[in-house]
A and B are shown apart, each in its own frame.
Chain A
């Protein structure tokens, strides 16, 4: 009787120690669900969701403070992925937060730019280069197309240009072929 109690106590203590050590050693930094949500978000940092960036929005989703359908750049696909991850029902994009647009980059009209640095301060990813009273320019590769630089510009010299399809970014299309035989006759 006593030995069995002792064995149980010993086992409990041993497991307790192992659990204790592993909880220190394998401690997970940060909240993994926030990171998972954040990795689905498109990282445009545009704030259309009503939060100041993708990470805050991810945090809000994780805390239940925001819905999954507030990110226009992520589009339908993003909402589906979030719904899958969180195990909730899919919802169509909330139109209050804007419509999905084709991927664009900002372009500064360098003749008009007065060098006020306001856009530089607004850019969430430091993709604008320039200094006071000198022309600014956008590092195209780093621009996420968030449009946050548009409102602060006092001379309205920034335009959003959609990224055009070219031989480099071209993709194979989904196969489309005729099923109706009669329509094929007309080809020749």
Chain B
């Protein structure tokens, strides 16, 4: 371990109360089998997974329920054995509060595994590992749910990756699932890091961890004592140090420019839970069927649970003793970037890292929103060095082009600006609104372009058909000479005359 390597400090950020000790006093608990499993088909970024089962089917634990549709998608597996009860729209943990397609499974209690086999990842090339991972259903478990196999695309083939960064910062207040995972599965994590290290063919692996996780730091330091290429770097507890680009800067001093990826700079980053998921899949063949969720905040016994995906959240909240002060408000994710759940009747998904039962001061909107006084404290706090006050102005007045010009899309929605705003303006909500509008406009433009193309092609086609018909007719006219024409006319006249004769003859008979 190199001690002299320095930590670079990024601009802005905030130091909020971490409130992590609420959920770190007791170890991770296995939640066990819930009464029902509701698996949303949308648990990841990208296309909806393609269904592979139908109602009434009996599925085994780990069996494929839906496969990835294309490359930017992720598969979904049955978390336990049981019967497929229904496939219909149900409420999912999504800020919209709208229902989406879910597969409901009634567990049979046997929890019987489908046959799984470990992969010989040491012997196959990266491309094949990639294909396997596409079928594993593993997505980034830090909360973004980006399909993991896509991140391995820039591996050995180009031989460009040098550094693997393990994101163990977990900078948002309240969330402790990664911390507890590192404490309890230290060895598995190190094995996982070694595995991913080898697959990617990188030179070094760096674990970036915030200095408030002392227990995990001690355990990890001991575990990597004899590792030559794995380093632990302790970063100060400043939110949002866990943001990918911020952490890369903290650890390596490299600023990744807009529209470029860390892999262009030889760096790839994974969350600790994702590393363990990859390890468990490649070493034992276990697909992504469970995760650790921090259940914290205003609850009787907050703690971390290892739960099967699709477990109804309500059952977990009940197991945690329910709310101390009833307000029925729950936040998914951290208090900074999370969103209010539409209802507690939603299932656990791959993206669900933390559920906070709102504390009284989080619910009541005590502080009225005041006008912006242009104090620019948001600009000081912005870790991306944007001009939040300008972005706010443009988003509020719907000058979307202007907002884009001021790099709205570089905003990581970390919420530091809203946190420091003395006027209590919900700045991030404005940015999210503006981003949504711009994205929709772009999509509409794209659709319009396709419609224009199709319309133009149709006009062209009709024109061509008309021309071809005219040509054909002209050709026919040319081919049939005058002689033929008179002959044809005579033939027709004769036929008419014959017919008339027949009619006359018929009339006489009558």
Where the two chains meet, the residues of A that have a C-beta atom closer than 8 Å to any C-beta of B are 38-39, 41-45, 53-55, 124-127, 142, 144, 165-175, 177-179, 181, 184, 187-188
B144 within 8 A of A: no
| Residues on the B chain within 8 Å of A55, using CB | 452, 455-456
Residue of B nearest to A184 (CB): B365
B440 within 8 A of A: yes
Tally of chain B residues near chain A (CB < 8 A): 36
A177 touching B426, Cβ below 8 Å:
yes
B433 touching A167, Cβ below 8 Å:
no
Q: How far is the CB of A116 from chain B (nearest CB, A)?
A: 19
B454 touching A172, Cβ below 8 Å:
no
8 Å CB interface, B200-232 against A: none
| Residues on the B chain within 8 Å of A173, using CB | 433
B92 within 8 A of A: yes
Residue of B nearest to A124 (CB): B455
| Residues on the A chain within 8 Å of B426, using CB | 175, 177
A125 touching B429, Cβ below 8 Å:
no
B365 touching A167, Cβ below 8 Å:
no
B42 within 8 A of A: yes
Where the two chains meet, the residues of B that have a C-beta atom closer than 8 Å to any C-beta of A are 42, 48, 92, 94-96, 98-100, 364-366, 368-369, 426, 429-430, 432-433, 435-437, 440, 444, 447-452, 454-459
Q: How far is the CB of B402 from chain A (nearest CB, A)?
A: 14
A151 CA to B237 CA, complexed, in Å? 66
| Residues on the B chain within 8 Å of A126, using CB | 454, 457-458
19 residue pairs bridging A and B, Cβ less than 8 Å apart: A39-B448, A41-B448, A42-B444, A53-B455, A142-B450, A142-B451, A166-B100, A167-B42, A167-B98, A167-B100, A168-B48, A171-B440, A172-B429, A172-B435, A173-B433, A177-B365, A177-B369, A177-B426, A187-B364
| Residues on the B chain within 8 Å of A172, using CB | 95, 429, 432-433, 435-436
A38 touching B368, Cβ below 8 Å:
no
A184 CA to B363 CA, complexed, in Å? 11
B369 touching A38, Cβ below 8 Å:
no
Residue of B nearest to A175 (CB): B429
8 cross-chain pairs, A with B, having the tightest CB-CB distances, nearest first: A171-B436, A170-B96, A43-B448, A172-B432, A43-B451, A175-B429, A125-B454, A167-B100
Residue of A nearest to B96 (CB): A170
Among the listed B92, B95, B366, B458, which residue makes an inter-chain contact with A125, where contact means beta carbons less than 8 Å apart? Answer: B458
